[in-house]
Chain A
Amino acid sequence: MSERDQGVKNPSRRALLRGGLAGGGAALMAGLTAGKSIAAGDPAITDIQDWNRYLGDGVDAAPYGMPSEFEADVVRRNVAWLTADTTSSINFTPLHALDGIITPNGVCFERHHGGVAEVDPMQHRLMIHGLVEQPLVFTMQDLMRFPRQNHAYFLECAANSGMEWRGAQLNGCQFTHGMVHNVVYTGVPLRALLEEAGVKTDGKWLLAEGADAAAMTRSIPMEKVLDDCLVAFKMNGEALRPEQGYPVRLVVPGWEGNMWVKWLRRLEVGDKPWHQREETSKYTDLLANGKARRFTWVMDVKSVITSPSPQAPITHGKGRTVVTGLAWSGNGTIKDVDVTLDGGRNWHKARIDGPSLSKSLHRFYYEFDWDGSELFLQSRAIDELGNVQPTKDALRAARGENSIYHNNGIQTWYVRADGVTENVEIS
């Protein structure tokens, strides 16, 4: 780290948190606005900075650019104890540090079952067979000759927030809600590929399979296949990242991420579902009575406040404060987001800003004057069908605590008087 980075790399808020200073954000503000340094003028203004004087890098320094080094903390993180091995595992999008609705490609969370397949696109094939008039093989070049579409969709892992079924466990929305990302996909409607092969009338289900060592497979009903599924080869304008299925993946809008088969190589049309491992042993939801739901495809209405949050505490002290977060629903658009500061006693309509796209993340804001008292922050989303995001207690009452998947319960952040923020459950 260069000398000039030191001040920014270890921001005061970090020291503040470690020290647990009484007065918290207020003390920090006092230092900045009324301290000795200000009396003599703010050195950030009165001193000539290195970047005011010396030339920066030339245009050939970064053919593929990366974020500023001061943003080095905005990265995917994993939780080592969650899984036996990093190749069949999960990491988390740094939601606490992002804004807007588009997730940068490099920090989109990853979920692999056999590691990242490094597929040579020239050697990649997509096969369609089964109950079709003509079984077909496509190259990547073939796929790119079909008419294309662009759509922003969220991809949420069915297990997002799954560690929180029994209560508050991980301290940060990156960990509690970060198995989600939202990018613009460019691809070909799956329907167009199937029309090329000609689906027979008894073709009611589609099995999608990946080319990786896990050979991921899921059964998808034909209604969904023909509705809005895409075979995508671009994300946010560039080729899919290897960890997101390069060169081609399935997009299953609004449905659990497991079905978005990466490194897609095979599509089989059949008259019944296959009951593969990922729709029997996994991605089935055990209820308190010992029964288990299967084919729980849709991701229900959900939201989370991304700031303030445990990884993004309030450091500015009392006064004007921005609450922001994300809301989404597998059923369509988000109609409303409500925010509470007092644990659900009183709610305020948040402001949805930016595009409101079906089955895409929505960004919301709620601005208020913080008086420095402790807060119990929650957000509650309502989708276009009128589904209201439930509390965790309501979900647990209906399902018990062993469903693993599909936890869309309302999240509570406890903001202390010093601005430090915690993941809690409340009565």
Chain B
Amino acid sequence: EPSTGPMGLGRVALPEEIAAWDIDIRPDGMGLPAGKGTVAEGEVVFTERCATCHGDFGEGRDRWPVLAGGQDTLTDERPEKTIGSYWPYLSTVYDYVRRAMPFGDARSLTNDEVYAITAYLLYLNDIVTDEAFELNSENFTDIHLPNEENFIADDRQEEPHWKADADPCMTDCKAEPAKITMRARVLDVTPDSDEGEGGGQ
């Protein structure tokens, strides 16, 4: 069936086609598939499919992402941003695991496995404490992550420096000559830096 739009281009998408691709989930639960999984079931799947990179307890191996812990570190010098400490919505966990994980084998988990992994991630982050806890499409939106309320709208334009005169100082703007306070050269973490001041010379 062709498009009925002004150009008459494209064709009508079939319900089966939309169902095959429409896997996104919103915080209000829109898009959640039927299904369920417990913490204990999640531990088994996580250990098999996830722990190689993310560690048995979501602590992250090597440079792979840390998934659990870090609560109350967001004002630290080095915050640990995890599902438990930073993410606002559980829907994002289910959505992202189902769409993009395991890394290199995306879309290979069943809906129930994703519920189970999500339940296990709640457990690793101390948001549920019972290994028998079952997460399902019915109770999903009852769960709230600790950092949900700490996201704010983009208010960059309220920052004081943007209120500065749009015709900035051109002459004799500073009393003292510039002094170096930090040098990248000292850190020496730039690729090819043995060749000089960075790659590409």
Contact = CB atoms under 8 A, between A and B. Distances in A.
29 contacts: A14-B201, A17-B196, A84-B63, A84-B64, A87-B104, A134-B12, A135-B13, A136-B12, A146-B9, A167-B181, A168-B184, A169-B187, A171-B198, A213-B100, A215-B100, A288-B75, A289-B75, A293-B152, A294-B154, A338-B170, A345-B172, A346-B171, A395-B161, A414-B183, A425-B181, A426-B178, A426-B179, A426-B181, A427-B178
Contacts of B179: 426-427
A13 interface: yes
Contacts of B181: 167, 424-427
Nearest to A172: B198
Interface residues of B, number: 89
B interface: dominant SS: loop
A312 B198 CA distance: 9
Interface in A173-221: 174-175, 192, 195-198, 207, 209, 213-215, 217
A83 B63 contact: yes
A224 B171 CA distance: 40
Contacts of A215: 23, 99-100, 106
Interface string A364-397: 0000000000001000101000111011001101
Contacts of A127: 13, 17-18, 21
B180 A272 contact: no
A295 B156 CA distance: 11
B52 to A, nearest CB: 12
B131 interface: no
Interface string A259-301: 0000001101010101111001100101011111111111010
Interface in B1-56: 3-7, 9-13, 17-18, 21-28, 30, 53
A276 B25 CA distance: 8
Contacts of B125: none
B185 A195 contact: no
Nearest to A265: B21
A145 interface: yes
Interface residues of A, number: 116
Interface of A: 13-14, 17-18, 73-75, 77-81, 83-85, 87-88, 94, 96-97, 113-114, 127-129, 133-138, 142, 145-146, 167-172, 174-175, 192, 195-198, 207, 209, 213-215, 217, 265-266, 268, 270, 272, 274-277, 280-281, 284, 286, 288-298, 300, 310-313, 338, 342-348, 376, 380, 382, 386-388, 390-391, 394-395, 397-399, 401-402, 406, 412, 414, 420-427
A96 B200 contact: yes
Nearest to A288: B75
A208 B163 CA distance: 34
A214 B7 CA distance: 32
